[in-house]
Amino acid sequence: MAAPTVLVIGAGPAGLAAALSLRARGVAVTLLEAEEQGRVRPGSRALFVHRDSLRLLEAASPGLGTAIARYGLVWRVRRTLYRGRQLFERTYPEPLLGRMPAFTSLRQVDTERFLLQACTAAEVQIVWGSRVESVSASSEGVTVRAADGSRWSAAYVIGADGARSTARRATGIAVSGPPVDAFHVVIDVEADEGSPLLRERTFHYRHPGLGGRNVLLVPFTGGFQVDVQCRPDDSPADWGSEEGARRWLRLVVDDSDAGPIRWASTYRFLRVVADQFTDVHRRVLLIGEAAHLFPPFGARGMNSGFADAAVAASAVAEAFRAGTERERAALIGRFAEVRHGAALRNAAATERVLAHLMPGPGGRIRQAAAAVLNPVLPACGRWMESAPYGAAAGPADPSGMTRGRY
């Protein structure tokens, strides 16, 4: 039986960030990942890494946040249209030299590549192909068993093992959240570096070419992502296949600007939060998608996971220095309270966003009125631009353990 100080389950963005944050605090850590080394995960997935996250990653591994920022794309123009008519446009200045940009846009697989390189440099032990089957916690520590028969013990476990988290289920923690019937289609399209599609993020309300469906175009390094909000009676197979996507893509962008489709997928919005972020013994800490799932508006998922990871690592490091079990439990409990509160705020923000994107008759009338009034009341265009993203969730940790937007 191996006996690391801390086990992290899951080598996604949150798990890799947690391992790095622990090593930065001098804590020994082993990371267990179900997939084999060299895995290839399709699609762009989470695109945005915000400034707060870049700073957290820079603190965990000097140079990491800077490297991700430089590799990613910082587009400078945001546009919002309603039925093909522009309501809002803003151009941002060039990022200041030597400062983190407000965000950077890159595929999640590239973000994970940078994180994995940093973990290797920090000598994080990663056990690939180790699918965790059980997690058993007590007041003295945690025992983890994997499908290959290996058995691990640790003082603490950080569960970053995704939406179907074994760490969460094994500790009896439930998740809560309303069902959402709507689905979206997302495609990744390759584009040359000089393509105009890589210069701006564009949101279309009621796109006239797609029967009034909402459409979001977001550039990233190497291409752009197109997100279409489908109707309940749309066929995921028709809209989400590469053949179907190629048919409707030409109604959204000029064929001369778009390269091959590299990925097509459908997804349904999930908005759930774990009822607790730690077990009753205060030995298992949940972060990332093991703790919450949000729709992608405002890039709350991965960025919130980075904040979870930083706060969890800080709490565990402080717990090792605490004098009594009661003090240790209180520190882990504070992590759970802080990050659960942030998750609830994120969930509330995405609920408001969904209500705006899928409005009833009254909401549709307000949006149409805002589009009509915008030429004389520019605030209407600003409202239409900001509404799909929701307000920031506030400090990651108002107690001062660490701070961040999500």
Domains and CATH numbers, the chain: 6-47+107-178+271-354 (3.50.50.60), 74-95+181-268+359-390 (3.30.9.10)
- 384 in Cβ contact with 88 (< 8 Å): yes
Query: What are 266's strand-pairing partners?
Result: 185
Residue 51 has a pLDDT of: 95
Residue 98 has a pLDDT of: 83
- 144 in Cβ contact with 135 (< 8 Å): yes
Size (the chain), residues:
406
Residue 391 has a pLDDT of: 55
Report DSSP letters for 167-178, one per residue: HHHHTT--EE--
Helix H or strand E segment including 226: strand 223-229
The DSSP symbol for 224 reads E
Residue type, 60: A
Nearest CA to 52 among 396, 366, 349, 331? 396
Residue 358 has a pLDDT of: 87
Residue-by-residue pLDDT tens, the chain, 406 positions: 444 689 999 999 999 999 999 999 999 999 999 999 988 787 888 999 999 999 999 999 999 999 999 999 999 999 999 999 999 999 988 888 888 999 999 999 999 999 999 999 999 999 999 999 999 999 999 999 999 999 999 999 999 999 999 999 999 999 999 876 778 899 999 998 889 889 999 999 999 999 999 999 999 999 999 999 998 889 988 898 888 898 999 999 987 778 899 999 888 878 899 999 999 999 999 999 999 998 877 788 999 999 999 999 999 999 999 989 999 999 999 999 999 999 999 999 888 888 898 899 999 999 999 999 999 999 999 999 988 776 554 434 333 333 334 5
299 burial (CB, 10 Å; 0-12 / 13-18 / 19+) is buried
124 burial (CB, 10 Å; 0-12 / 13-18 / 19+) is buried
What does pTM read for this prediction? 0.93
Nearest CA to 100 among 48, 47, 51? 51
Cα separation, 75 vs 72, in Å, equals 10
Longest dimension (CA), the chain: 71
Cα separation, 111 vs 100, in Å, equals 16
For the record, the structure tokens of 136 come out as: 């058993």
Residue 392 has a pLDDT of: 52
Residue 393 has a pLDDT of: 46
The DSSP symbol for 116 reads H
Work out whether strand 132-138 and strand 125-127 pair parallel, antiparallel, or are unpaired: unpaired
